[in-house]
A and B are shown apart, each in its own frame.
Chain A
């Protein structure tokens, strides 16, 4: 199993507060991703990273920012949380060998509730 840990696993916060989710990997994989999972939508890509300090937007990036200062850590920040950002967030990683096959290794998820 790929070594991916997400923190926190559960968080309840109020509208307008900042929230940061952390993804930590021990696999030294180059590529890291943040997805959100919502009923009826499956998994949607928020942001991804293809190296330290190299990030790009995904399908649903509005309201989110990311940072990757080290290979092993990928942070997802909600500057001012809204109720529409209540979701389960998954971090995923991929190495170059598996890049062409699209195989991703996912963390266990972080459930965020914005009241």
Chain B
């Protein structure tokens, strides 16, 4: 029962362009959403989050958009840089111990 889905296993973009990573969820109870970034041989690191009472949160080059009616969120990276190449996990929860993660999307930013 995968409650958080990232349907694109991989994404490749050119340096300087926009990267858009998508995530869908099925549980309407989720009220907090996060994106984590993971480099090879390292643990995931927190990137950005959004509460269900908002529809957008921005932090520098990273913006997360939430569409509750569609149960969809997306992460925009503008402009994309080669150092952004990593696996990105979408996560959602409604109490601290029920966080669910998507399968991840591998982003490759080409110079």
A102 touches B4 (CB 8 A): no
A99 touches B96 (CB 8 A): yes
Shortest beta-carbon distance, B106 to chain A, in Å? Answer: 11
What's the A-B contact tally at a CB cutoff of 8 Å?
Answer: 60
Residue in B closest to A39 when the chains form the complex, CB atoms: B103
Residue total for A at the interface (Cβ-Cβ under 8 A) = 28
B36, B45, B49, B103: the one within 8 Å of A41 (CB)? B103
A56 touches B97 (CB 8 A): yes
Tell whether A44 is near chain B: CB-to-CB under 8 Å.
yes
Which of A12-20, A64-72, A79-87, A104-112 lies at the interface?
A104-112
> Which B residues are within 8 Å of any A CB, using their own CB?
2, 4, 6, 32, 34, 36, 41-46, 49, 89, 91, 93, 96-97, 99-104
Given A92-B43, A102-B93, A103-B46, 13 more contacts at CB 8 Å? A41-B2, A41-B103, A42-B89, A42-B102, A44-B101, A56-B97, A58-B97, A90-B43, A99-B96, A102-B96, A104-B44, A105-B46, A106-B45
